């Protein structure tokens, strides 16, 4: 499933020409590929580093996946940095009950040219929900330029301000694996 991400109108991008995401459910979880087109010299893209669980990745260029079951207030948030740092959280409700998820580190690979950044993520599903559970997803990104301005990208923006946690952001139906 491929989705074009759109910038939030209150935070237009300075140099991006395109941003799309592709998600596929695998036997163990997901493969997600983010494809960003831009003059990359105008963006702040974290340098490659050893994979590590890291909080507050959203403060600079970062790609995200939000997952929830079709019914119920709880959901998961996953953050993936081009540096290969990552984060994984569960929430009991909208921005409530945040807790780290104990999962294996995702495999994050990066391909980069002067005008394209492709980030591919292999993510194992947490133990709950089971693999046979249908899920709803939101694919998102934050892109920071060299001036420090950030643009917020999603399939849809249901609020006047960027809010990837908004329940109406979960628009992709992912069948069981």
Q: Read off the pTM.
A: 0.94
The predicted structure's pLDDT at residue 126: 72
Say if residues 22 and 2 touch (Cβ distance below 8 Å): yes
Please name every residue paired with 152 in a beta bridge, in sequence order, or none if there are none: 142
CATH fold of 2-174: Immunoglobulin-like (2.60.40)
pLDDT band at residue 1 using 50, 70 and 90 as cut-offs: confident
The predicted structure's pLDDT at residue 34: 98
Residue 127 C-beta-side C-alpha neighbours within 13 Å? 3
Query: For residue 167, which phi and psi values (nearest 5 degrees)?
Result: -55, -30
Tens-digit pLDDT profile for residues 61-119: 999 999 998 888 899 999 999 999 999 999 999 989 999 999 999 999 999 999 999 99
The predicted structure's pLDDT at residue 128: 66
The predicted structure's pLDDT at residue 6: 95
Nearest to 81 by CA among 103, 112, 49: 49
Tens-digit pLDDT profile for residues 6-62: 999 999 887 888 999 999 988 888 999 999 999 999 999 999 999 999 999 999 999
The predicted structure's pLDDT at residue 107: 97
- What does the block give as tokens for 84? 């290969």
Q: What ranges do the domains of the chain cover? A: 2-174
Q: How far apart are CA 26 and CA 87, in angstroms?
A: 20
Nearest to 2 by CA among 121, 155, 123, 135: 155
- As a whole number, the mean pLDDT across the chain is 92
The predicted structure's pLDDT at residue 177: 66
């Amino acid at each position: 499933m491929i989705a074009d991400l759109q910038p939030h109108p209150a935070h237009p991008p300075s140099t991006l020409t395109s941003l799309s995401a592709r998600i596929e459910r695998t036997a163990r979880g997901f493969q997600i590929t983010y494809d960003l087109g831009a003059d990359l010299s105008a963006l702040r893209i974290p340098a490659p580093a050893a994979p590590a669980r890291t909080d507050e990745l959203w403060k600079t260029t970062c790609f995200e996946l939000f997952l929830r079951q079709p019914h119920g207030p709880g959901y998961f948030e996953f953050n993936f940095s081009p540096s290969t740092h990552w984060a994984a959280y569960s929430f009991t409700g909208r921005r409530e009950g945040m807790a780290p998820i104990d999962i294996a580190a995702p495999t994050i690979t990066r391909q980069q040219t002067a005008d394209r950044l492709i980030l591919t993520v292999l993510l194992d599903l947490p133990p709950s929900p089971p693999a046979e559970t249908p899920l709803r997803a939101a694919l998102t990104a934050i892109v920071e330029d060299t001036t420090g301005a950030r643009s917020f990208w999603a399939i849809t923006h249901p609020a006047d301000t960027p809010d990837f946690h908004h329940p109406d952001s979960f628009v992709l139906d992912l069948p069981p694996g």
